[in-house]
Structure 1
Amino acid sequence: MKLYPPIAYLIHSGTADQDERKQRWIRIINSLSLVTAVLAFIMGIVFFFLNRKLQIIIPAMIETAGFIGIIWLNKKRRSQTAGISMMVLQAMGFVYFGILLGTAVEAILILLFLVNATYLLYEKGPERTICLIAIAGGLITTEFFYYTELVEPITFAHTTTFILRWLCILFILTMNTLVIRFYKEDRNVLMKALEEQKEELVRSNKSRKVFLQETSHEIRNPLNAIFGIVQLMRMDLKKAANPETLPKLVDDLYVASFNIKDIINNILELSRIESGHLDEVKRKEIYIRTTIRNTANIYEYVANTKGVHIEQKFDEALPNNIFTDETKLSQIINNLLTNAIKFTRHNSTITIHTGVKEKSWFVSITDQGGGIEKDKLEKIFEPFVTEKSSFIEGTGLGLYISKHFAILLNGNITVECVQGISTTFTLSLPLSDFRRATILSAKEDPLQIRFDNKTILVIEDDKMSQALLKNYLSGLGVNVITANNGLEGLAAARQQTPDLILLDSHMPKMNGRETLQRLKEDPALLHIPVVIASGDAFTEAMDVFMKAGANDYVIKPIVLATLPLILERHLHK
């Protein structure tokens, strides 16, 4: 509703810099006070001209000034005082004029407005109690004077009484109508919010349904492959078949397992983003060429199943080291590589080009999949959006998450297509990442790193995981000690002090967190670096362990090719 500027100024007094709910509350108080002040002024003048009695005109003018003062209190940021004062002043006016004018003018009906206004302004709390007590006190006081006749009401001529009675009725109707209007506005606001929430729930349910369908479909494909491959391997073993077929089955098994790992990682990241969790960027110095090479080498297994070769190019101008979040950078490259392998043609080449351009450094990944249609490029970074191909469909989560991480790292991801030939995704990050980095020596190939004469204690309750880690670490020259839970692990560490402890987070008898706490409380063991191995991929879980004294955190399923680099950080210091 459009208001004249002076009226709008009074009604909105004190609402600046307040939240929406508080603004509305203040506007209601100002509106009721302004209307009451105007009506008190008009009725005071009319009453005075009808009977020339100062007992009416003076209190009416005082009441007018009082209600204008309520607006002034709101302007001075004393809204709670203003609300209580308005209700108390209304009750006092009711008592005074009710006693003075008697039963002829039906002043008692003002109580209906006062009760409605109280419940409009105060949902609960001491303020509402104070207002209701003031109203009840006013009613009791007025009825007491009516009954005892201690004060004789002013008498008027019949016509004057009729006019005054209708003026009071109009006052009461106006005030109650105003309160009802505010109630209706509140109802409309609530109904609108409810409708928006309903629409949001419908959209959310639809998204969840699509999400479950996509996720179920994507997990079932590699899971079906794993199940089928294992059955073939069992059949070959039973038949004592030619062992030459085994390497191919093992490679396929690795690829299917790797796909499931990527899907689950993306699902976890999506749930974290949708929950509003703010990802913390944890920057550190990394050797960029090694990071890119290691990631590409891991995906070579996946690419080989399609006869795809991954080619790596590094510009000479590219510095050796950067200062960035290695985990987020790796996940971006992982997702872009996964996407490229899915959509490139069989027996084609994927090119990873890392270099410097103007004020940024970049990693571009080009496939030979024939490009993406122009009308789908705009939505390619939205969740669940996938470009159909003749050989594979994606979850549509990887690009969305990669874009999110790129923005967190103060960068961006762009896509360029040559229709029918190729698609290039380019991650661009600021050159300031290099200026903050110091010189690091190049890392060795993870497969060539060894830990001869080092002892690692593996505390893991899952027998299969325990055996896998023992087998792999032994191949790196490690003397491996195993324990099935935290209690056994503490005993083993005290019996033979290890150089490093690989600790599972979830175990019976004593979990990883309690075991870590015990290790850090033991003077003989607190110096031993502890690497947590957990299936919990959420940042909160990692933060809990790192604050408790863990030296590193790896997420299950563990990519074994990356494990030597993690161990080297703590064993070759």
Structure 2
Amino acid sequence: MTDVESIIGKPITSPLEEEGKQRWHIVRLICGFTSVLVVLYGLLFFMVSRELLILVPAFIFCVMFLGVMRLTARENYRLTGFLLQLVFCSVMIYYGIVLGNTAQVQYLSIFMISISALLFRPDDKRFIYASALLPVICLGMLELNYNLGWFPSVVFTYRQDQVFRWLILFVVILLNFLLLSLHQTKLVGLLRKSRELYFQLNITNQQLRLQAEQLEHQVLLRTEELNRLVQQLQGANRLKTAFLQENNHEVRNPVNSILGFTDRLIRHKRKPFISEQEELELLECIYSSSQHLRNIVSNVLDYSRLEAGKDIRLSYETFPCKEWLEQSVFVYEVMARERKVKIHRRIDDSLPDLITTDKTRLTQILFNLVGNAMKFTPRHKNIYIHCWQEEGWFMIKIRDEGVGIAAKNLESIFNDYETNDYAGGVGLGLGIVKKLTQLLNGQVEVSSVEGEGSMFKISIPMNQRAPE
């Protein structure tokens, strides 16, 4: 079905197809009606004249009309219409010769010429002209026969001739009434069809107008969606540009620290007297900066793997929990001393000696959270790290006294490239924290009061095993 048909709810046939079906029904009607008439008139004429030359051909013509009617089953209305006209011509010529000029069989030509327009579609002009020309030719042939006497007529009495003439006149009038009725039926059908089409077109116009409004609304929605996507892509492009800039800056800071501390260590080594404590402090600073640099590189590499659709492989191992925590926090305690920030550690006695999980990823999570707290905590403020066990879960809570996070930003704080304008940064740390915590079958929670600080809580199963 076409779009218009789906709107109207019914299949639409072309006007030419409708015309063809109408002609098909007209041919069947005329064939049936005239087959009855020709038999009836054959019997009447036989009763008047007792001539078999009138009766026998009447049955033959009846069979011919019924044969044309049978051919209509093929739905070739042009062929059946033309054959019907040929049968009418045969009737007019035969009975025109047999009954003679007095019977006025020639009046049938009026009906035959008029019916040509009903037998064919308006665009079949050649068939219409040929069909209308046939009775004219037959009429001319009859007139020539009457004048030249090619075929003699049957001799009837005057009274018989008058009876034939009036019967033929009656049937001509009857056939023309049939013709008028068919034209009237056609006109009424056209008017009804026009009215139906008018209402259908009104309904279609309303539905098309409604669909146009809906499509216009959808176009507006799609346009807004595309504009929003364009803005998101532009924003992502700006964030990636900022990421490259900030990444260079963050990598440069620990590298500069490593170079600076190494230079100081070399210069102190050249002096004749350097205390072991000073040397140890410089080495601790170099170690801390190196660990911080490695954490930045790990974040970028892990993010690249996730962006490429690759999985991060986990390596489970059993290790001393308290010793791991002290070593990990020590890295940032050195940096905290440089920044005048105090880190407070608290490890519950209930915490078991050993824990089984991915040590590298757990360290990366802790580094990111402590590094994030360091980034947003001003000088002479505190960072609190608390570890404990809770119903088989290893719990870590990091609370700082930094600038805090606005309530509207809490939901998006774990998005990639999301950062606080106060301290800058790459903005990958918290996103990596959430992804790694989920990989370790854990959860991360955040709460914050703007101007007072933030609190992050990590919960990870105590003992995990690599999947089989």
- What is the TM-score when the length of structure 2 is the normalising length? 0.49
The answer to which structure has the higher helix fraction is 2
TM-score in terms of structure 1 length = 0.42
Q: Which has the higher contact order (CA 8 A, sep 6+)?
A: 2
Structure number with bigger Rg: 2
